[in-house]
Each structure stands twice: as C-alpha cells, then as structure tokens.
Structure 1
Amino acid sequence: MWLTKLQIAIIEKNPEAIDTLMKQMPKFESVDDMKSASALIQEALKLLYHLKNETSITLKKLKKHRNFLNATAENRKNKFDIIS
C-alpha cells in the first residue's frame, strides 16, 4: 500500500505527499519490496531536485521582472513630477 501511495505521489508530482510518506515509511517484509522502495525513493529524489530547479528558475524570472517594473516605475515617477 505504501509503495502504491508513493508511486501516485511521484506521478502527481506532489512533494508534500512524498514528504509525508517518507516520514511514515514502513518496515518492509521482503527484499523485493525494499528494492521497489529504493527505486521509488530514487525517482522521488529526481523529481524533487527537478522541482527545486524549476522553482529556482521561476524565482529568478520573478525577481528580474520585479526589478524591471521597479526601474520603470521610478523613471515614470521622475518624468512626470511637475511639483519640483
């Protein structure tokens, strides 16, 4: 059951579910279950690293856009300042 839940969490790309399942890892009855768990954990790690990289790229883009908008807003404010 745990292996199936981990497979579903990986397919759904759900890091919260993966984290929860890692905290609830059972003791496995057979070597085959241990090997399956090991392979799934490796896939989960790959997925989490991939999601981490995607998040990093997105954050960099957002910071770049924010800086651009802030720079544009400052220029616009100075250009139309008729009080000074």
Structure 2
Amino acid sequence: MWLDRLKIAIVEKDAAALDKLMDSPPQLKEEKEIEEAICLLKEANSLMYALKNETSASMKQIKTNLDFLRSMDIHTSKSLDIRS
C-alpha cells in the first residue's frame, strides 16, 4: 500500500504527498519490496531536486522581471511644486 502511494506521488510529482509518506515509512520485510522502495526513493529524491531547481529558476525569473518593471517605473514627485 505504501509503495503504491509512493509510486502515485512520484508520477503526480506531488511533493506534499512525498513529504507525508516520508514521515511514516513502513517496516518492509521482503527483499523485493525493499529493493523496490530503494529504487522509488532514489526516483523521489531526483524528482525533489528537479522541482527545487525548477522553483529556483522560476524565482530568479520573477526577480529579473520585477527588476525590469521597477527600472521602467516613472518616478513622479510626491509633493506639489508651485514654483512655476
């Protein structure tokens, strides 16, 4: 059951489900299940790094976009100039 939920979380790229599954790992007894769990955990680890890198790239792009928008902002005076 746990292995099936782990597979589904990996396929769906569901970081929250992976985190929840890691909080309650089962005691696997059969060698086949242990080997399958190891392979799935390696895949989950790769997925988490990929999601982390994707998030980092998105955040950098947002920062670049914000910097660009701020550079295009027209600075207006906040006080009333009546000297003219």
Q: Same fold (TM over 0.5)?
A: yes
Q: How large is the RMSD of aligned CA atoms in angstroms?
A: 1.5
CA distance in 2, matches of 1:56, 1:24: 28
In the TM superposition, residue 45 of structure 1 has moved relative to its aligned partner by 0.4
CA distance in 2, matches of 1:38, 1:23: 16
State, as a whole percentage, how many aligned pairs show the same letter: 38
Moved over 2 A (4+): none
Which of the residues 45, 63, 75 maps onto 1:77?
Answer: 75
Aligned residues: 80
Q: Give the 3-state SS of the residue equivalent to 2:72 in structure 1.
A: helix
CA distance in 2, matches of 1:56, 1:17: 21
Alignment gaps of 5+ in structure 1 = none
Match of 2:3 in 1: 3
TM-score (norm: length of structure 2):
0.88
Tell me which amino acid in the other structure corresponds to 1:53.
N
CA distance in 2, matches of 1:54, 1:25: 27
In the TM superposition, residue 21 of structure 1 has moved relative to its aligned partner by 0.3
Point out the structure with the larger helix share: 1
Question: Could you say which structure has the larger radius of gyration?
Answer: 2
Alignment gaps of 5+ in structure 2 = none
CA distance in 1, matches of 2:2, 2:19: 13
CA distance in 2, matches of 1:42, 1:22: 13
CA distance in 2, matches of 1:44, 1:27: 19
TM-score (norm: length of structure 1):
0.88
Tell me which amino acid in the other structure corresponds to 1:56.
S
In the TM superposition, residue 29 of structure 1 has moved relative to its aligned partner by 1.9
